[in-house]
Structure 1
Amino acid sequence: MTTAANKSILSYFTWAFVVTVAGLALGAWLGWSMTGTIGGLATAFFICAVLAVLEISLSFDNAIVNANKLKDMTPAWQRRFLTWGIVIAVFGMRIVFPLAIVAIAAHIGPIEALMLAATEPSEYARIMNEAHLPIAAFGGTFLMMVGLNYFFDQEKDVHWIAALERQMSHFASIKGIEIAFVLVLILIFTSLLDAAEATTFLYSAIYGLLTFLAIELIGSLLDASQKTMSTAAKGGVGAFIYLEVLDASFSFDGVIGAFALTQNLFVIAIGLGIGAMYVRSMTIMLVEKGTLAEYRYLEHGAFYAILILSVIMYCQTLMHIPEVVTGLGGATLIGISFWSSVRYNRREKAEIQD
């Protein structure tokens, strides 16, 4: 049986490659069936490919954070997340979630929302774009709490940007400091919006904060009662919910940004779904090969990328920020943290040899 140690990196992406081929073929067929032209086929094919790359670039940090959480879960719950979780991620967040937003915003049923997406994509896209503010406020707040919760930790003893992270670890002794920081930022951005938008932003951001705290509470309750739980369930439910909401928060930006390329819900779902499969493959590789332990600053880069993404989502309520900035910013931070890890490993190896 092939072990994780001798599995090649490419072998982890086998299913992602299969889904890529199938997805691009489906996208091309969709373009042909809608237009009946080679140009329409090529356009749909190209947009699906671009959306897949967009999703991958936006989700490097998502894969790393998923792996960080998964390594502490039982094998049973790891399998559940990597099977059920990917179904929820691809179909729930890329198809059902946008339909639900339009249904709620337009006060119509889910079937009517689906028909609207199929027959009036421009109107569908308009409603989605109008819903961007509450989505950005909710997702930005949740992601900000995820990032701050990582750095405001008294037990954290590995620091990448040492001067900053030591201070954050020190101030973690102040109860609720990360919540206070987020609330202050919410108030600042609320003051920069007009009255109607400010109210929407405030409520959505508070809901994002409460969602994070509720999931933390569920995890704490599960930890406290784990003696009476079966081994397969220990910490699994709370971690599963946490990862699903985390994936949702990461997906908001990609789903909304996709409408800048196409207004066709089905093309968006195919492109982003291909990208989601690569995120799943990266997550499995990171867990099985122990990459997070081998590269000590990789997690740091991912959580810094999360914090930057959360601030960008807040700023998007005031101005348009291209998705390429978001994707490249996160990928750059992770790349720098990876290089820092490599340099650290080389220094350690050199000291041992000396």
Structure 2
Amino acid sequence: MILKTFGWSFAVTIIALVVAFFYGGPEALILCIILGILEVSLSFDNAVVNARILERMNAFWQKMFLSVGIIIAVFGMRILFPLLIVGVTAGLNPVEAVTLAMEKGDPHTPGSYGYLLHEAHPQIAAFGGMFLLMLFLDFILAHRDIKWIKFLEIPLARLGKLEGASLIAGMAALAIAGAVSGEKQGIVLLSGLLGMITYFLVNGLGNLFDVDADGDVDAADADRVVHSGPSGSAKLAGKAAFMLFLYLEVIDASFSFDGVIGAFAITSDPIIIALGLGFIGAMFVRSLTVFLVREGTLDEYEYLDHGAHWAIGALAVILLITIVTPINEIITGLIGVVFIGAAFTGSILRNRRASAAKQDETLEPANA
């Protein structure tokens, strides 16, 4: 199972490392490994959220995520997105942006590729931070039978009964981010607002096709659902699955913002960044996502959903804070790992308690 799921990731990693070595020698090889580890550590929560969405799709759309989705993740977000941002920010055409990128200038040198991308960080962080914050708020403010951090999740669920609670909280956070962003206030507010609009748009498209939070559809839309597995669980197909695929890609893109920007603190070479973040990191994140779906891990360890969304909330806050002051990527990655690890541990303890209670119920009639 491990080899079947992660086989392509291991193969691509070996190829990427060989290319990095021949491209820049041992130093490039080491940098490539570091960037790959950085991307995976930052994306544990991404994999959990991806898996929860992916398990609602049929086999065809799951394969689309691994094929077309990986192309978008590697070439779109790790290569073209930085070029686009630099080109728009500096008023460069695509050829000039590529030429500037290949010069591998120091990120601290005005006019270099890394410097221009770093200068665009406030709007990138505002967009990605607000998108992820709305995702977190919609999850944590909803009523759920299963609760992990009860002393926080119970009162937050009560607060969620207020009409438009997530929108109010999101607008308040954006107002604070804009207030402390100084001369960047206008672009931060605009970018954050666009992040919120994008979230509501892609989330609303699912509702347009009658896809609810559990992946259920109306009877009139049965042609968009196939049944698979021994339990006959519904899997989305057609337009409904396509909307989920778009939603998944936007979420995946939002998660990649911090990794792309943080990579320039390690190296300004776009080739090494593409090899480390894209070909190694993005591939392993996708393999991990598929592994979680095929193993039914999210159903077995029920707190993982909560841990992932708390990590998303923390990442959103960190992105908004970095508009004003930088935060080390190691801290960002560790926060996600801590939340996921704690949720996994909590799920194991919960399962053990449930198993012990079930055994006690079985023993009581026998003793009687």
What TM-score does the superposition give when structure 1 sets the normalisation length?
0.92
Alpha-carbon distance, 1:252 to partner: 0.5
- Provide the rounded CA distance (Å) in 1 between the counterparts of 2:48 and 2:187: 32
Aligned to 1:81: 65
Code of the aligned partner of 2:160: A
Please give the alpha-carbon distance, in whole angstroms, between the structure 2 residues aligned to 1:168 and 1:22: 47
SS in 2 for 1:108: coil
Cα distance in 1 for partners of 2:124, 2:354 equals 44
Gaps spanning 5+ residues in structure 2: where? Answer: 107-111, 212-216, 226-236, 361-368
Match of 1:294 in 2: 300
Match of 2:204 among 209, 217, 231: 217
| Long gaps (5+) in structure 1 | 1-6, 32-40
Partner of 1:328: 334
Q: Which string of whole-angstrom CA distances, capped at 9 and with x for unpartnered residues, describes residues 302-347 of structure 1?
A: 1000000000001101111000000011101100110000111111
Match of 1:149 in 2: 138
Question: Distance between the aligned counterparts of 1:145 and 1:348, measured in 2?
Answer: 33
Query: 1:86 and 1:108 mapped to 2: Cα distance?
Result: 27
d(CA) in 1 for partners of 2:253 and 2:94?
A: 19
| Counterpart mapping for 1:242-261 below 5 A | 242-261=247-266
* Separation in 1, partners of 2:335, 2:224: 42
Matched residue, 2:42: 58
Contact 1:121 1:265 survives alignment (8 Å): no
CA distance in 1, matches of 2:273, 2:239: 36
User: Which residue of structure 2 lines up, in the alignment, with residue 105 of structure 1?
Assistant: 89
What CA RMSD, in Å, does the superposition of the two structures yield over aligned residues? Answer: 1.4
- Amino acid paired to 2:324: L
Letter in 2 for 1:146: L
Q: Which residue in the other structure is 1:29 paired with?
A: 22
The answer on whether the counterparts of 2:104 and 2:269 sit within 8 Å (CA) in structure 1 is no
2:364 maps to: none
Equivalent position to 1:190, from 178, 183, 195: 178
Aligned match of 1:14 in 7, 13, 22?
Answer: 7
How many Å apart are 1:92 and its aligned residue?
0.6
Q: Which amino acid aligns with 2:127?
A: F
Separation in 2, partners of 1:168, 1:120: 47
Greater mean alpha carbon deviation, residues 199-208 or residues 111-120: 111-120
Equivalent residue for 1:140?
129
Q: CA deviation at 1:175?
A: 2.2
- Residue aligned with 1:100, SS: helix
Asked if structure 1 preserves the Cα contact closer than 8 Å seen for 2:69 and 2:249, the reply is yes
Q: Percent identity?
A: 44
Report how far residue 230 of structure 1 moved: 4.2
Once the 2 structures are TM-superposed, how far is the Cα of residue 157 of structure 1 from its aligned partner? 1.0
Corresponding residue number in structure 2 for 1:4: none
1:74/1:234 contact within 8 Å kept: no
* Partner Cα separation in structure 2 for residue 208 and residue 317 of structure 1: 15
* 1:172 CA displacement: 2.3
Q: What are the within-5 Å matches in structure 2 for residues 269-308 of structure 1?
A: 269-273=274-278, 274-308=280-314
2:59 equivalent to 1:70: no
The AA in structure 2 aligned to 1:106 is A
Cα distance in 2 for residues equivalent to 1:27 and 1:147: 37
Distance in 2 separating the partners of 1:179 and 1:66: 23
Instruction: State the distance in 1 between where 2:23 and 2:126 align.
Output: 34
Conservation of the 8 A alpha-carbon contact between 1:61 and 1:303: yes
Residue 273 (structure 2) aligned to one of 268, 275, 278: 268
The question of whether the paired residues in 2 share the 8 Å contact of 1:145 and 1:178 is answered with yes
* Structure 2 counterpart of 1:319: 325
Provide the aligned length of Structure 1 versus Structure 2. Answer: 336
